[in-house]
């Protein structure tokens, strides 16, 4: 299908998250006493699909779960959040993806992910979902699934005239096959430092890293947490937007909220600056709002 209707297609990860709150993240060999824990449906792909759907733009998820309790919770969550999950397959012989995130008293966190079923995505899954790749669509990818799956999906979206957004997280070397298919790359400060070899400890540093990465990508977006966001294009445009000042509750999921809203705004036909303004505001709302447990506010 090549009808130019706005939509967001996410090929990516689905993780069942275990969220743990403590006074600090433990050092090597240390045990700390936490205050609470709760489950939450996530994965960068799942989060971004939900964030896009919240804007009212049709959102489609291509992913993989196992036939287990985690997998059923993940697909139920997508259904509740109005994400089309017809192309989330169930695989045998491996568990659903999951993660453990440990928060400190300041709202920052560290996490460990176990990819599980997310590693089973590939060309057959893209072929099965051909109907959702459209000329008006924006494809969102991340680095929590195999590179060859990302390449297959990017080729499908570019083949019908759509756009490709890559949230290059977690940081890993990008194949040339994928890089040449990406329209917009989104990275945080740490990922930008690793890819651009430029220190990112300020908004000016983020802009410098974005400008360097724009030598390789058409549009580069570097998120710098509480400082804001920087953008540079291959054509020479470069600008930054300061963060919306809010009282921080938790940074978890902020990057995914930002990326999902950015993709939805691009699908609507907004320019990059306008889309970034909307994404910046959405991330600010998320980090200042108590997190949710499987769709229920704490």
Provide φ and ψ at 144, rounded to 5°. -100, 10
137 is in an annotated binding site: no
150 is in an annotated binding site: no
Contact 168/191 with Cβ under 8 angstroms? yes
Is 76 known as a binding-site position? no
Sequence-separated (6 or more) residues with CB below 8 Å from residue 57: 6, 7, 8, 264, 267, 268
For residues 203 and 241, what is the distance between their CA atoms, to the nearest angstrom? Answer: 9
228 labeled part of a ligand binding site:
yes
69 is in an annotated binding site: no
**45: annotated binding-site residue?**
yes
Q: Quick one: which of 204, 234, 223 has its CA closest to 276?
A: 223
Burial grade of 221 (CB within 10 A; 0-12, 13-18, 19 or more)? buried
Residue 226 labelled as part of a binding site: yes
Q: Which of 104, 125, 256, 294 is catalytic?
A: 256
User: 264 by DSSP, 3-state: which?
Assistant: helix
256 labelled catalytic: yes
Contacts of 283 (CB under 8 A, 6+ apart): 223, 254, 255, 257, 258, 261
Q: Is 60 annotated in some ligand binding site?
A: no
Annotated binding residue 16: yes
286 assigned ligand-binding residue: yes
Burial classification of residue 216, based on how many CB atoms lie within 10 Å of its CB (0-12 exposed, 13-18 middle, 19 or more buried)? middle
Q: Is 257 annotated as a binding residue?
A: no
Is 227 marked within a binding site? yes
3-class DSSP state of 174: coil
77 annotated as belonging to a binding site for a ligand? no
Gap between the Cα atoms of 188 and 44, Å rounded: 14
Residues annotated within the binding site for ATP are 188, 223-228, 255-256, 280
Residues annotated within the binding site for substrate are 15-17, 43-47, 144, 256
Residues annotated within the binding site for K(+) are 252, 286, 288
Residues annotated within the binding site are 15-17, 43-47, 144, 188, 223-228, 252, 255-256, 280, 286, 288
State the catalytic residues: 256
């Amino acid at each position: 299908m090549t009808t130019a209707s706005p939509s967001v297609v996410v090929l990516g990860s689905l993780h069942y998250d275990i969220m743990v709150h403590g006074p600090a993240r433990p050092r090597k060999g240390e045990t700390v006493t936490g205050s609470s824990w709760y489950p939450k449906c996530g994965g960068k792909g799942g989060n971004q699909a939900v964030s896009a759907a919240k804007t009212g733009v049709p959102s489609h998820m291509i992913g993989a779960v196992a036939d287990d309790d985690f997998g059923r919770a993940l697909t139920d969550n997508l259904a509740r959040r109005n994400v089309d999950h017809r192309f989330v397959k169930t695989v045998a012989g491996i568990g659903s993806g999951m993660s453990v995130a440990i928060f400190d008293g300041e709202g920052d966190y560290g996490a460990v992910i176990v990819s599980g079923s997310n590693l089973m995505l590939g060309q057959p899954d893209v072929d099965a979902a051909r109907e959702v790749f459209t000329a008006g669509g924006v494809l969102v990818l991340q680095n929590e699934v195999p590179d060859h799956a990302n390449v297959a999906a990017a080729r499908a979206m570019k083949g019908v005239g759509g756009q490709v957004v890559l949230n290059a997280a977690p940081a890993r070397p990008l194949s040339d096959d994928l890089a040449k298919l990406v329209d917009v790359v989104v990275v945080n400060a740490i990922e930008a430092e690793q890819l651009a070899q430029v220190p990112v400890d300020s908004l000016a540093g983020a802009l410098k890293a974005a400008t360097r990465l724009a030598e390789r990508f058409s549009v580069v977006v570097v998120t710098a947490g509480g400082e804001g966001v920087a953008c540079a294009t291959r054509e020479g445009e470069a600008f930054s937007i300061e963060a919306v000042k809010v009282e921080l509750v938790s940074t978890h999921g902020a990057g995914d909220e930002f990326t999902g809203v950015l993709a939805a705004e691009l699908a609507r036909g907004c320019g990059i600056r306008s889309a970034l303004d909307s994404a910046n505001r959405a991330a600010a709302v998320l980090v200042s709002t108590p997190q949710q447990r499987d769709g229920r506010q704490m």
